[in-house]
């Protein structure tokens, strides 16, 4: 057989532009893919209704438990290993895919047994949804390989293929009356084509040399990925287990009522993730060169996470009902209260994302798993207590409580060192006042309709920031300093 050895030319990064170019590629495709996925979900909710959405989301959540075994941290492992030595591309691709395939077969068998024991009347459809979730794991693994060799444009191409096919074929299925079965069938076709495209790219960018499977390497890959797998498990139980628990303790339609606003909430959390793409390399550099600038940059970032998230929280809470009716139609009206509760978590989610990047910048990754484990414990207990009391609203409230508690943990573990509680309160006081002024204006205009209220909020809030000088020239200078430091950053030797 033949082995593929990827030469340095595959990467195509210039020392000056590759890092920034890669970041732009990855952030852009992440936002675009999520946007297309959200459009399809909104259409599914409007056409299929809460019951089918509940079946779809609960099936994905059940499969998500087993996706943990199939993922097993291999994505991060290959990003690290292939990023250091690109000649490992083909061997890692073939060997780890064998492991993932074996894990997927076992997972499907276990899911099938669970579905049979539950007496699920739509068991074939549930198994198709589970199969889709497991195959998606292979797609994310391919993307990790593309990141490892520093060619994000390949990831962009593959994800575009899937996202456009998924939306186009999904819409065809919905409006042809094929129902949820048709949508899931089209998703399987879309992900299959994107997997094939990734395979062709990996074959095409490689140079062949002799290669044979090293079966004895498979256990080693599992062992090396185990620490990453542990982090995945903690993150799952800290963020995604609520739908599994809701499906077990409530009606399927309640899962649909929760899943709809949860998709909106998840889309908004992309904002801090994108921002951290610029924040992390800057903070990593400043932590080693200037503690004073490190502290000022952190405070600036914390303040502007609040500046961005506060109006989203308050504005969405005020217009939750008309927004829910506009997006999902009348059958999802109960979801409005869940949306309001989820939005309470958004500010804390923005800050928690910043805290994660801060700890990585300080080389304190080792404590992250323990902090996330504490959050996961709060999340599980919160769901166990609140879902029996408030059903889908309880699941939403558990998210808000978890994010708030996790923020307190992060604050005392890391933020307090750089911003005292008094300093922290002073940083957000001005934007909080501006948000309150916006809320009053939106509240009085809302009887005229959702869109006039949103327009007034969009005008009042930035105007209030400028008038009260909550955003001033000093903030703009801080932003310029961050961009200047970022422009100075060059790829490390492992990235060249």
Q: How confident is the model at residue 365 (pLDDT cuts 50, 70, 90)?
A: low
Mean pLDDT of the chain: 83
Which tokens belong to 193? 């084509």
Tens digits of residue pLDDT in 242-282 = 888 998 899 989 999 999 999 999 888 877 876 665 566 66
Tens digits of residue pLDDT in 203-216 = 887 655 555 556 67
Tens digits of residue pLDDT in 150-185 = 777 888 889 999 999 999 999 999 999 999 999 999
pLDDT at 25 over 70: no
Most confident of 413-422, 429-438, 484-493: 429-438
- Up-side HSE of residue 149: CA atoms within 13 Å toward CB? 28
What per-residue confidence (pLDDT) applies to 496? 39
Tens digits of residue pLDDT in 317-343 = 999 999 999 999 899 999 999 999 999
Give the residue-averaged pLDDT of 469-478: 68
What per-residue confidence (pLDDT) applies to 244? 87
% of residues, the chain, pLDDT over 90: 46
What per-residue confidence (pLDDT) applies to 444? 96
Give the residue-averaged pLDDT of 87-114: 88
What per-residue confidence (pLDDT) applies to 12? 46
% of residues, the chain, pLDDT over 70: 83
Q: What are phi and psi of 73, to 5 degrees?
A: 75, 10
What per-residue confidence (pLDDT) applies to 488? 52
pLDDT at 354 over 50: yes
Give the residue-averaged pLDDT of 282-308: 80
What per-residue confidence (pLDDT) applies to 215? 66
pLDDT at 238 over 70: yes
Give the residue-averaged pLDDT of 47-68: 90
């Amino acid at each position: 057989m033949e082995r593929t050895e990827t030469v340095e030319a595959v990467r195509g990064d210039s020392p000056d532009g590759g890092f920034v170019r890669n970041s732009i590629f990855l952030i852009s495709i992440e936002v675009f893919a999520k946007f297309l996925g959200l459009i399809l979900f909104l259409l599914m909710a409007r056409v299929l209704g809460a019951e089918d959405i509940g079946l779809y989301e609960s099936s994905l959540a059940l499969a998500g438990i087993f996706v943990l075994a199939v993922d097993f941290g291999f994505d991060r492992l290959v990003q690290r290993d292939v990023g250091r030595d690109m000649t490992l591309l083909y061997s890692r691709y073939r060997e780890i895919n064998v492991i993932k395939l074996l894990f997927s077969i076992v997972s499907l068998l276990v899911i099938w047994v669970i579905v049979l024991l539950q007496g699920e009347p739509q068991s074939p459809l549930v198994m198709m949804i589970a199969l889709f979730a497991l195959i998606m794991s292979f797609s994310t693994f391919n993307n990790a390989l593309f990141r490892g060799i520093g060619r994000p444009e390949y990831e962009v191409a593959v994800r575009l293929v899937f996202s456009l096919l998924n939306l186009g074929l999904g819409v065809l299925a919905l409006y042809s009356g094929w129902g949820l079965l048709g949508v899931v069938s089209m998703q399987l076709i879309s992900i299959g084509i994107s997997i094939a495209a990734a395979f062709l790219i990996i074959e095409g960018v490689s140079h062949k040399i002799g290669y044979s499977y090293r079966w004895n390497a498979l256990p080693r890959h599992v062992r090396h990925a185990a620490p990453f797998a542990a982090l995945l498990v903690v993150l799952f139980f800290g963020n995604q287990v609520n739908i599994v628990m809701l499906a077990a303790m409530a009606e399927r339609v309640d899962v649909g009522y929760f899943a709809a606003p949860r998709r909106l909430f998840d889309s908004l959390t992309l904002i801090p993730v994108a921002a951290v793409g610029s924040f992390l390399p800057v903070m990593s550099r400043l932590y080693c060169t200037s503690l004073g600038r490190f502290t000022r940059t952190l405070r600036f970032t914390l303040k502007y996470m609040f500046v961005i998230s506060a109006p989203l929280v308050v504005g969405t809470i005020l217009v939750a009902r008309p927004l829910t009716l506009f997006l999902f139609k009348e059958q999802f009206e109960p979801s409005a209260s869940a949306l309001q509760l989820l939005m309470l978590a958004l500010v804390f989610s923005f800050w928690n994302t910043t805290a994660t990047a801060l700890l990585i910048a300080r080389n304190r990754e080792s404590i992250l798993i323990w902090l996330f484990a504490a959050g996961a414990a709060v999340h599980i207990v919160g769901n166990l207590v609140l879902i029996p009391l408030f059903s889908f609203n309880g699941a939403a409230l558990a998210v808000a409580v978890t994010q708030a508690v996790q923020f307190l943990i992060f604050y005392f573990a890391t933020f307090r060192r750089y911003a005292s509680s008094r300093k922290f309160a002073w940083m957000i006081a001005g934007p909080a006042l501006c948000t309150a002024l916006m809320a009053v204006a939106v509240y009085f205009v809302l009887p005229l309709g959702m869109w006039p209220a949103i327009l007034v909020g969009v005008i009042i809030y930035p105007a209030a920031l400028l008038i009260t000088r909550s955003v001033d020239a000093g903030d703009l200078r801080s932003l310029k300093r961050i961009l200047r430091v970022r422009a100075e950053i060059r790829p490390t030797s492992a990235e060249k």
